[in-house]
């Protein structure tokens, strides 16, 4: 009787865990999309590098007291890798997609291009981790690229966007993929709030140089600029990046990037409602084709570790025998 009573709460606990997981994943999608929308809103009030500077600086300064008070003592051997990750994952990635939006590339298309992160991770896995791409990964990469070209082909006829601007989010995505692989190869012992603080301050130092060259580093005292920075700090940085790094530590990169597949359509709808950016069947078709390619890459990436574990299992059994 007691065993039955003890076992009865298990379905409820499992259902609660599923509900919590769904809420967390949905929050990650919304906050990740908020970064693109926030940049699109803020560029109407200030130069792009000034926005990125104050987004990163305020984020780092807010986190700094917590980073110094809670967590292990910061050592240079642990701080330096986080500075490198800040240059790649923060400065490189944010500058890539933000500059593209500032030059007129549609916000939804930028989100679609940066959502090619699984393809970039697969492409860079060989030089960084020594993992060659399988035939399925190559196939998925080409399908994903075809989807981006379909969506981009429609937007090329929209206005006077320079052709090279479409390459900016590609470079930013490659930068984030490199940081992701480096963190997987050498995981950080620091908690998320400490690593995120160091990365934000490192990115702020880089953005300060470009903002100075762009015209100055002082903030714009306007409601639009202040509101945009607060949105980018507390929603797009603390929300999106914290959830992203927590998810990377709790799950596989394939699952995390699979969750982010939903960010391009969410961003497209936001941009359509808030800024009147048009939607088209070509954008929808390109999105579907790209997601199909990403799913192929992600599933093949998950299948490879499973095959390796299956190959090792008989050896382990034989060793114990």
- The span from the CA of 193 to the CA of 212, in Å, is 28
The dihedral built from the CA positions of residue 86, 88, 94 and 95, taken in this order, carries a sign that is positive
Unique residue bearing structure tokens 């399988």: 134
Q: Kindly give, in sequence order, each residue whose CB lies less than 8 Å from that of residue 184, ignoring residues fewer than 6 positions away.
A: 129, 248, 253
List the chain residues with pLDDT less than 70: 1-11, 17-18, 21, 118, 122, 125-133, 137, 148-149, 151-160, 186-188, 248-259, 294, 297-321
Domain ranges of the chain: 29-320
Q: Which residue has the tokens 């809670």?
A: 70
| pTM for the predicted model, two decimal places | 0.70
Q: What is the 3-state secondary structure (H, E, C) of the chain?
A: CHHHHHHCHHHHHHHHHHHHHHHHHHHHHHHHHHHHHHHHHHCCCCCHHHHHHHHHHHHHHHHHHHHHHCCCCCCHHHHHHHHHHHHHHHHHHHHHHHHHHHCCCCHHHHHHHHCCHHHHHHHHHHHHHCCCCCHHHHHHHHHHHHHHHHHHHHHHCCCCCCHHHHHHHHHHHHHHHHHHHHHHHCCCCCCHHHHHHHHHHHHHHHHHHHHHHHCCCCCCCCHHHHHHHHHHHHHHHHHHHHHHHHHHHHCCHHHHHHHHHHHHHHHHHHHHHHHCCCCCHHHHHHHHHHHHHHHHHHHHHHHHHHHHHHHHHHHHHHHHC
CA distances from 183 to 30, 108, 245, 249 (A): 24, 28, 10, 10
pLDDT tens digits, 102-114: 888 877 778 777 7
Residue 88, pLDDT score: 86
The predicted structure's pLDDT at residue 251 = 62
- How many Cβ atoms are within 10 Å of 100's Cβ, its own excluded? 29
- pLDDT at residue 320, rounded to an integer: 33
Res 256: pLDDT: 67
């Amino acid at each position: 009787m007691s065993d039955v009573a003890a076992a009865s709460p298990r379905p409820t606990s499992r259902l609660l865990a599923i509900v919590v997981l769904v809420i967390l994943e949905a929050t990650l999608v919304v906050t990740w999309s908020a970064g693109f929308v926030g940049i699109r809103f803020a560029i109407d009030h200030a130069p792009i590098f000034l926005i990125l500077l104050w987004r990163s600086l305020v984020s780092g300064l807010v986190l700094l007291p917590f980073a110094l008070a809670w967590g292990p003592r910061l050592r240079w051997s642990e701080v330096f890798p986080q500075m490198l990750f800040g240059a790649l994952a923060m400065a490189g990635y944010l500058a890539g997609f933000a500059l593209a939006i500032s030059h007129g590339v549609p916000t939804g298309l930028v989100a679609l291009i940066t959502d090619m992160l699984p393809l970039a991770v697969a492409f860079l896995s060989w030089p960084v981790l020594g993992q060659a791409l399988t035939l399925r990964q190559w196939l998925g990469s080409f399908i994903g690229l075809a989807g981006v070209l379909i969506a981009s082909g429609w937007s090329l006829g929209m206005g006077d966007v320079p052709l090279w601007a479409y390459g900016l989010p590609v470079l930013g995505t490659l930068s984030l993929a490199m940081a992701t692989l480096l963190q997987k190869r050498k995981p950080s012992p620091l908690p998320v709030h400490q690593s995120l603080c160091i990365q934000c301050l490192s990115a702020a130092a880089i953005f300060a140089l470009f903002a100075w060259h762009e015209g100055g580093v002082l903030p714009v005292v306007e409601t639009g600029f202040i509101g945009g920075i607060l949105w980018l700090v507390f929603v797009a940085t603390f929300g999106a990046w914290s959830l992203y790094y927590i998810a990377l530590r709790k799950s596989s990169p394939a699952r995390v990037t699979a969750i982010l597949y939903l960010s391009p359509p969410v961003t497209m709808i936001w941009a359509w409602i808030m800024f009147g950016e048009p939607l088209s069947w070509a954008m929808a078709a390109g999105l579907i084709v790209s997601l199909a390619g990403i799913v192929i890459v992600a599933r093949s990436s998950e299948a490879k570790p499973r095959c390796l574990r299956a190959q090792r299992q008989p050896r382990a059994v034989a060793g114990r025998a």
